[in-house]
């Protein structure tokens, strides 16, 4: 008897094979209907394979080797995940002055992930105690 793979398995495989770190819920709409995908994504989140970082936004996750708790799988942490999420959402953004200074050699490390966003952007991107701070710039 041949078993067909579950929706959760197909989503997990799609995530595993992808080079992306951030996924939109709409990335999986070809695999099933809205409610089924929601249940599968919640299941993957409960198992520590995904982390919800906003409404309809998910990031690859893995267990921390020391604590065993779920953490973001991106090498750049929340900073990388939040910026990739903005790009995936089609938002035009740029780093703030503090980050540009740090990248050009300043020893002052920016304490929070902050970006300048052009146009309207009202979504919230977060993970645990981390939250993306947004400076709005008139378009």
In a domain, 1, yes or no: no
Provide the number of structural domains found in the chain. Answer: 1
65 versus 98: the higher-pLDDT residue is 65
DSSP category for residue 89: T
Examine the pLDDT at 96 and tell me if it is beyond 90. no
pTM for this prediction: 0.87
In a domain, 46, yes or no: yes
CA pair distance 57, 52, nearest whole angstrom: 6
CB 127 within 8 A of CB 51: yes
In a domain, 79, yes or no: yes
């Amino acid at each position: 008897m041949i078993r067909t793979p579950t929706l959760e398995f197909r989503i997990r495989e799609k995530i595993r094979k992808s080079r992306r770190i951030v996924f939109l819920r709409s990335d999986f709409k070809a695999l099933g209907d809205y409610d089924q995908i929601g249940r599968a994504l919640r299941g993957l989140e409960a198992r520590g394979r995904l982390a919800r970082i906003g409404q309809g936004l998910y990031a690859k996750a893995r267990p921390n080797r020391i604590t065993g708790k779920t953490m973001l799988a991106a090498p750049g942490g929340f900073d990388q995940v939040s910026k990739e999420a903005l790009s995936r959402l089609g938002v035009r953004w740029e780093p703030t002055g503090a980050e540009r200074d740090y990248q050009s050699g300043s020893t002052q490390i920016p304490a929070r992930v902050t970006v300048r966003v052009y146009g309207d952007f009202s979504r919230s991107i977060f993970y645990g105690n981390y939250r993306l701070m947004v400076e709005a710039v008139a378009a």
